[in-house]
Amino acid sequence: MSTSLVFLIVVAIGVVGYFLGRQRALTKDTGGLKPHSLPHYHGWWVFLASALPAVLFLAVWAAATSVYLERTAISELPARTADTVIASQSLELGMVSGIARGLNKLSNEEKANLPQTFVELRPLLSAKGVALAQDGQDYMIPIALEWNKNSIWANNIGGIVAIILAVAGAIFGLSGVHVRARARNNVERVILAALVAASTIAILTTVGIILSMLFQTLTFFQSVSPSTFFFGTVWDPRFAAAGAEGSQGQFGLIPLLAGTIYIAFVAMLFAVPVGLFSAIYMAEYASPKVRSVVKPLLEVLAGIPTIVYGFFALVTVGPFLRDLSAALSGGYAFIQAQSVLTAGIVMGVMLIPFVSSLSDDIITAVPRSLRDGSLGLGSTRSETIRRVVLPAALPGIVGALLLTASRAIGETMIVVLAAGVAANININPFDAMTTITVKIVNQLTGDLEFNSPQTLVAFALGLTLFFITLAMNIFALYIVRKYREQYE
Amino acid sequence: MTDISLNPAGISAKPARRDIGLKRRYAAERRFKLYGIAAIAIGMFFLVALLYSVLSNGYTAFWQTEVNLAINLDPKIIDPDNKRATDPKVLLTANYPVLARNALAEKLGVSSSDKAGMRELGKLFSEGVRGQLRELVVSNPSLIGTTQNVWVLTGADIDSAFKGQIDLSVDQSRRKVSDKQVEWMNKLKSEGVMAQRFNTGLFTYGASSRPETSGLGVALIGSLYMMLIVLFLSLPIGVAASIYLEEYAKKNRLTDIIEVNINNLAAVPSIVFGLLGLAVFINFFHMPRSASLVGGLVLTLMTLPTIIIATRAALRAVPPSIRAAALGIGASKTQMVFHHVLPLAAPGILTGTIIGLAHALGETAPLLLIGMVAFVANSPVTPLDPSTALPVQIYMWANEAERAFVERTSGAIIVLLLFLAVMNITAIILRRRFERRW
């Protein structure tokens, strides 16, 4: 019995239970009393009583089964020695489960005269659509057969128990149908529980982010000390050769952090004046007609995916700046195509709508009376803006700029395509620098070996990035909230 | 008052105008206004430059140069030993490109003894002809021995030359197409045999190392699966969470934490979600790498905060009188929420969801980390099969050096932007049509 079949049976029992429960509620002699719940609530309660526990049980059982199967398989694998061909136990396990999956697809006839060696088995399985790596071993076949036998047993037991649970639940639900039964309250309690569960997913995500990265980071710090990571000035991770010992790279955060901050700084240098002045113009000068055209157009910039900006930087802005610098200096291109400047400008363009729409909201939230007072005293509009509106809006704008800066620091695709991969520390904006996000992508694309420091460093970088942006966001939200209270 | 009467001479004489710097102040005012206009102009300029750069590079990607050949499916070449009845491999491994080359040689009058000429001729059409003719013959073996008119893709360089993207004035040693090939190309063009046709391959092919036979087929399916997963997970979960927070939750420490949490998650860099997906879904739960299921789950977690924030705003916009009226006529709280408040908030929720989906569709960084950067040639059947996504495909093509790939990349970006435009316009129309003001 496959799990999906059992699931369907359980749901079917629940649906039957729904109709039976409703029918029972409709036809039950009320004895002159007013029923507490509408008939369909009785139906739903029967459905929930039968399907919910059974489905939960199935989920738990499926998880437990997979753990059990892996444990048994590991205990049956021969002890790992120096000349074990396959690099890690998890790879071995993956191969065994692959063979088991393939064996399930064979016909009875093929199963009867099963080849005993992996070399013969492999083409047979790949004909069934299960492609396996070449270095499978013969000893895996009996383990895979055992795996399948156990999994059939576990599935059958789990299926039978789930169906019994469903039937028992349905009977329990049906037996509870009577005039004063509070079926609606029961159903609503389940709904409320579901709502609470949904809203905890947000917390679970944060916990998941922190725990998963913390776990990997701690493993990373076992091979590289935190002080050399946080204060190291050389980034040279070397390659993670599978199984090779001693290829210890250098993992210095400083060059990456410097590049990240430098590029974000250039981007903000471009985006803040442009975004702020657009916001001021739209909030204070533009007629409603101009505003209704320009504002959505600027927001189009925010809707364009960052990969498109990256491509724009790579094929248009980068070459343009390089050719421009070559033309200016007469031959020598002092701006490289991949440079801090290219990445900064393009990222700045991406940030314009963030700065402008956030500041626009804040500027328009400044009370009318402040403006009227200033204008009434005879100051011009620009004086009003500079001396009255902007100071009043300043905390909000600082908050908005912090939010924007955290976005610049966490931005990935533009810098991957436009900033380069060389981890230098320099102050020349025409040279290439690299960022934390670029290195996370670099370390984690390609074949992964999950216990090498070369891979794990990406999680340490990710955690650093997460905490930097988290701190900026919390601080920004704090400022924005505090400011908002002043005028409400 | 008394001041004036003390100065009787001042009544008739015009007071000297004190210079209060009005000129300077008005100039400053004009300058300030000009800065605003300049800032908006800069923003607009970059929007136009970006769209122009993509469109001008990319619109040609929707047409591909093809050549119509009368190909003789010669049994002597397909099956020299006449074993196709017994050995099915013969038809699969036959040398199909030779057939196309011979057809072309005949057309252009190149003799088969001219080795160098034949070699250059072979570069006129794409290697993809092998698969094309194989499919034709395998699906209908009775065609062997007949002559078929087939539209065959040209090679990527010929395609670029045909579209005028290669500068033909430079010496032939410094460009990828020879003078001989250009001459043939022009001849075929004047006969109407070589022409640009709509590039259906862009939407159907999978990954390929040759630009002319690579397409978005796999990426489109992968993105579709991911969007469906995001929609079916994040909409119910997001709406449920918002209903709880907005309608049920008491104001206490816990709800405060959840609220701050959601606001923060909305601002966490997307690449961090990729790390989460890698560590939890792939490393811990052993889900398959490169699968659209994992991509969909990661994007769901990323989109949830957006949807929750939009839904809460929509719920808050429903006036309290509706709730009071429902409760007043005897509805339970759950009935009030699900029968009255939720339907009224639906347009706002839908708008927020579409915008969240559009955001998820364009997201690249987290997908790179869960192995979506993969060379996938065959279309995925289930969400568990390896696949790529539209923006990831753009990323992979952007890293290719060839000119023809720049064209494809821009074409793919146009496709992506069209999808996003349709989604956003739908959201705007929904908002305009169903928005209610109480």
Domains belonging to chain B, first-starting first, are 63-199 (no CATH), 217-434 (1.10.3720.10)
The CA-based angle B40-B41-B46, given to 5 degrees, is 100
Question: Is B53 close to A184, i.e. CB distance below 8 A?
Answer: no
Residue B50, chain A, CB below 8 Å: the answer is yes
Q: What is the pLDDT of residue B11?
A: 56
Q: Does pLDDT of A57 surpass 90?
A: yes
For residues B175 and A269, what is the distance between their CA atoms, to the nearest angstrom? 42
Average pLDDT, chain A: 86
Judge whether B105 and B128 are in contact, CB under 8 Å: no
Report pLDDT digits (tens) over A389-402. Answer: 998 888 889 988 99
Ramachandran sector of residue B82 (left: φ over 0; alpha: ψ -120 to 50; beta: rest):
left
Chain B contacts of A410, Cβ < 8 Å? 268-272
DSSP letter at A447 equals: S
Q: With CA atoms as reference, report the closest residue to B36 among A401, A283, A458.
A: A283
Q: What is the pTM of this model?
A: 0.87
Judge whether B265 and A474 are in contact, CB under 8 Å: no
Interval A447-464 mean pLDDT: 82
Report pLDDT digits (tens) over A156-184. Answer: 999 999 999 999 999 999 888 888 888 89
Judge whether B124 and B155 are in contact, CB under 8 Å: yes
Q: Mapping DSSP to helix (H, G, I), strand (E, B) and coil, where does residue B66 land?
A: strand
Question: Is A308 close to B54, i.e. CB distance below 8 A?
Answer: yes
Report pLDDT digits (tens) over B192-223. Answer: 888 888 888 888 888 888 888 888 989 999 99
Compute CA distances A402 → A211, A408, A469, B241, whole Å: 26, 10, 9, 28
Say what percent of chain B tops pLDDT 70: 96
Judge whether B372 and B392 are in contact, CB under 8 Å: yes
DSSP letter at B338 equals: I
Split at pLDDT 50, 70, 90, the class of A39 is: confident
DSSP letter at B63 equals: E
Question: CA-CA-CA-CA torsion for A291, A296, A302, A305, nearest 10 degrees?
Answer: -160
| Lowest-confidence segment of B159-168, B265-274, B410-419 by average pLDDT | B159-168
Q: What is the pLDDT of residue B13?
A: 64
Chain B contacts of A380, Cβ < 8 Å? 25-26, 28-29
- Domains annotated on chain A, with CATH: 3-181 (no CATH), 250-487 (1.10.3720.10)
Give the pair of three-digit tokens for residue B242: 């918002």
* B243, B261, B395 ranked by CB distance to A307: nearest: B395
Q: Does pLDDT of A474 surpass 90?
A: no
Interval A88-103 mean pLDDT: 76
Q: With CA atoms as reference, report the closest residue to A411 among A471, A476, A351, A472.
A: A351
Question: Is B268 close to A469, i.e. CB distance below 8 A?
Answer: yes
Q: Does pLDDT of A78 surpass 60?
A: yes
Report pLDDT digits (tens) over A266-283. Answer: 999 999 999 999 999 999
CA of A441: which chain B residue's CA is closest? B369
Split at pLDDT 50, 70, 90, the class of A242 is: very low
DSSP letter at B69 equals: E
ipTM of the complex: 0.88
Per the model's pLDDT, the better-predicted residue between B92 and A279 turns out to be A279
* Chains A, B: CB pairs < 8 Å: 251
For residues B93 and B77, what is the distance between their CA atoms, to the nearest angstrom? 11
Length of chain B: 438
Judge whether A252 and A235 are in contact, CB under 8 Å: yes
For residues A14 and A172, what is the distance between their CA atoms, to the nearest angstrom? 12
Q: What is the pLDDT of residue B300?
A: 95
Residue B364, chain A, CB below 8 Å: the answer is yes
What one-letter code names the amino acid at A467? F
Ramachandran sector of residue A132 (left: φ over 0; alpha: ψ -120 to 50; beta: rest):
beta
Report pLDDT digits (tens) over A178-217. Answer: 888 888 999 999 999 999 999 888 889 989 899 988 988 9
DSSP string, B281-307: IIIIS-PPTTBHHHHHHHHHHHHHHHH
Judge whether B288 and B375 are in contact, CB under 8 Å: no
For residues A47 and B297, what is the distance between their CA atoms, to the nearest angstrom? 28
Split at pLDDT 50, 70, 90, the class of B32 is: very high
Question: Is A444 close to B368, i.e. CB distance below 8 A?
Answer: yes
DSSP letter at A385 equals: I
Strands B63-72 and A250-251: unpaired
Q: With CA atoms as reference, report the closest residue to A155 among A270, A7, A302.
A: A7
Question: Is B39 close to A203, i.e. CB distance below 8 A?
Answer: no
Cβ neighbours of B404 (radius 10 Å) = 24
Residue B294, chain A, CB below 8 Å: the answer is no
Q: With CA atoms as reference, report the closest residue to A50 among A3, A18, A6, A23.
A: A18
Split at pLDDT 50, 70, 90, the class of A374 is: very high
Alpha helices in B140-178 (DSSP H): 156-162
Interval A63-83 mean pLDDT: 79
Compute CA distances A102 → A129, A135, A148, whole Å: 8, 16, 10
Interval A219-229 mean pLDDT: 87
Chain A contacts of B36, Cβ < 8 Å? 277-278, 280-282, 285
